[in-house]
Structure formats: C-alpha cells, structure tokens
Structure 1
Amino acid sequence: MANREALKDFQARLAVRLQEARDEGVSVSSWLAVESAGGHFLLPLAQLGEIFPWGGAQSVPYTQSWFMGVTSLRGTLTGVVDLAGLLGAVQPRSEQALLESSVLALNGALEVNAALLVDRLAGLRGVQAFVASEPSAQGSPVYFGSAYVDEQGMRWQELDLQALSRHPAFLSISA
C-alpha cells in the first residue's frame, strides 16, 4: 500500500513539475530515466502512458520468458513485458524485487496494449542532463536511439518505444 501512495505522490509531483516548466517556458524533459537489470534507459515521455506499481500479472502459457503475462490497468487488459528480459538480460527476480518494480504503460497512440516492467524509476531527464551523446552502435536493434553519457560517466540508452512496439520480436510473444 505504501508503494502505491509513493507512486501516486511521484505522479502528482511529476505533473506539477511539467506544468510549471511549461508555464515558465523552460524546456521540458524529454525522457523518463529507468533502470532494469543494471541497464540504464531513456524512455520518451510522449510515448509513455501511466506508471503503475507492480501488482502481479496472470501468466500466459507458451509465451516468451520475458512476457510476464497480462494484467488489468485501469480496466484495460494489458500485456506486461519485462524490459530487461526482452533486451536479453537474464535476471531472476525475487518477490521483493518485483514489489519494488514499476509497470510503465505505453501511450495509447502506439495502438498496442502493452506495458514495460522496469526495476527502478530514475527521474526525468532532458538533453541538458548529459555531457555527451553518440549514435546507436552498428548492429543495434532498430528501436535503439542515441546513447547519452551523464556527468558521472553513466551511459543511458534511448529507446524508441514506437519502433519497439512495431518490432517483430516484441510482437511475437509465443515461445
């Protein structure tokens, strides 16, 4: 219950900060920074929907190991994809680790009822939060955008959720 309240507070603070930035004419952050299986990712805010605490998912037989199952998010049946697993990381999670995870619904405009399971929300980021950027490495998945490096030397990989939601691997959940 405490996780739900903390998440609601985070969403409320996020909405207030975004509105204040728009009112002041400040450039608004472009990404939600998340961590999953030790990876650092930037997810475009325009391609995301709501943030939910992990509440479990009904498993679906004969699906990929990264497909966590389906859950109801605000009355809509939604498939939950483990972001780290989809990207190839094998990370068994304890029940406690799952309880600390978040589910990020994809924006309805992407026309796919899917959400991503991530380990931790790391806040909002804009281009000004980084000291360097580089194009995606040759051979990277088509949904990899640029990589950004922050002042601490941490590398953040941008993910194009629209391209991801259309990618055959994402759409093929059967094992």
Structure 2
Amino acid sequence: MAQREALKELQTRLAARLQEAKVRDMAVASWLAVQSGGRHFLLPLAQSGEIFPWGGVQSVPYTQPWFLGVANLRGTLTGVVDLAGLLGAVQPRSEQALLESSLLVLNAALEVNAALLVDRLVGLRSAQAFVASEPPGDEAPAYFGTTYIDAQGMLWQELNLQALSQHPAFLSISV
C-alpha cells in the first residue's frame, strides 16, 4: 500500500513539474528588443547573431548614407548598416552616441555578411511582455511583422531579418 502511495505521489510531482516546464517554455524569449532612431524594434533571436560594441568602421565611397562601411568583426569584414537610416530616419549621431551603440550581426544562416547598428539594446522579450498586437499595415515594407504594444503603451515593431536581408533596398548599397 505504501508503494502505491509513493508511486501516486511521484506521478503527482512529475505532472506538476511538467506543467511548470510548459509554462516556462511559453515565456521563453523570442526577440531581442532594440532601439534605433527613436523607435523600438523586436528582432527574432533565431535570425540574430553576435553583438559587438561600436568599433572602427571603415567607410566605403559611393554607397548609400545608411551603409556605414565595413568593420572587422572576429577577423571577418562585415558590412555595417545603420538600421534607423535604412528605415528612413535621418539621425546624425555624435561620437559619444556611437560609442554607446552596438552592432548586431545577422545570423550566419541568413547568408548575408552584415551587421545592424542599433542605438541601444533593451533586452529579451517574449509574447507575454505585450498586451496587444496589430498586423502590419498595407503600406508596410515586406520585412515588417506584427506591431506589439506593451503595458506602458510603447509600440514595438517586429522586423523579419531574413526578409530585410533579401529586400532590394538592403541589397542596393551603391548610390
């Protein structure tokens, strides 16, 4: 009889732990939250790569203003794109502002050797961090995903980095 009760207790504990694991998995972060050009963006973790502090970027002549140049990141020359500039925000940055910014390399699986300049890393976010969402508008670029709204009313635009990396505007760096 004692064995039966011990087995029942074990099953109850296992069921409780499985339920806890399901709840934890639902709260797993899906996005890297960043700020760029005064806007808030959600970048899918699966499409994001390594993060680097701002460093020396060698400018490249005859390129779009949002293409900042190339940087040597772990021995690889990587094209650096100003995310805010690419999305149309004209935001001159002081040297101090650049020192506080970060370079987010696109995941190698996207097969694009590029990094995005973002003004600030905000942290990781999951769907549970938001109270509402809106689908992209008809005029939104193809790489815009859902717009999420947090409890403070802040809008967070999801960016599909794979779609962005294949977009003609992103691929056309020459003037």
TM-score grouping bracket, smaller chain normalisation: 0.7 to 0.9
Structure 1 gaps, min length 5: 1-20
Question: Deviation of residue 25 (structure 1)?
Answer: 4.3
Give the corresponding residue for 1:14: none
- Which is higher, the Rg of structure 1 or of structure 2? 2
CA contact (8 A) 2:27 2:127 kept: no
Within-5 A mapping of 1:150-161: 150-161=150-161
* Structure 2: distance between partners of 1:26 and 1:64: 41
Aligned partner of 1:121 in structure 2 is 121
Contact kept in structure 1, 2:27 and 2:128, CA below 8 Å: no
| C-alpha distance in structure 2 between counterparts of 1:73 and 1:143, whole Å | 25
2:131 counterpart of 1:139: no
Amino acid at match of 1:127: A
CA RMSD of aligned residues (A): 1.4
CA distance in 1, matches of 2:108, 2:74: 13
Once the two structures are superposed, the pairs formed by residues 65-104 of structure 1 within 5 Å of their partners are 65-104=65-104
TM-score (norm 1): 0.85
Structure 1 residues 107-118: aligned runs within 5 Å:
107-118=107-118
Q: Unpaired runs of 5+ in structure 2?
A: 1-20
- Identity across the alignment (%): 77
TM-score normalised to structure 2 length? 0.85
1:135-162 C-alpha deviation (Å, 9 max, x unpaired): 0011110000000000000000000000
Please tell me whether residue 30 in structure 1 is matched to residue 22 in structure 2.
Answer: no
What's 1:3 paired with? none
| Counterpart residue identity of residue 75, structure 1 | G
4+ residue runs over 2 A deviation: 24-27
Q: How far is 1:26 from its partner? A: 5.4
Query: SS in structure 1 opposite 2:58?
Result: coil
Change (3 A) 1:52 1:148: same
Any idea what SS the aligned residue of 1:80 has?
strand
Please tell me the residue identity of whatever aligns with 1:80: V
Which residues in structure 2 correspond to 1:53-72 (within 5 Å)?
Answer: 53-72=53-72
- The whole-number CA distance in structure 1 between the counterparts of 2:167 and 2:38 is 23
Q: Distance in 2 between matches of 1:91 and 1:26?
A: 37
SS in 2 for 1:72: strand
Deviation at 1:28, TM superposition (A): 1.4
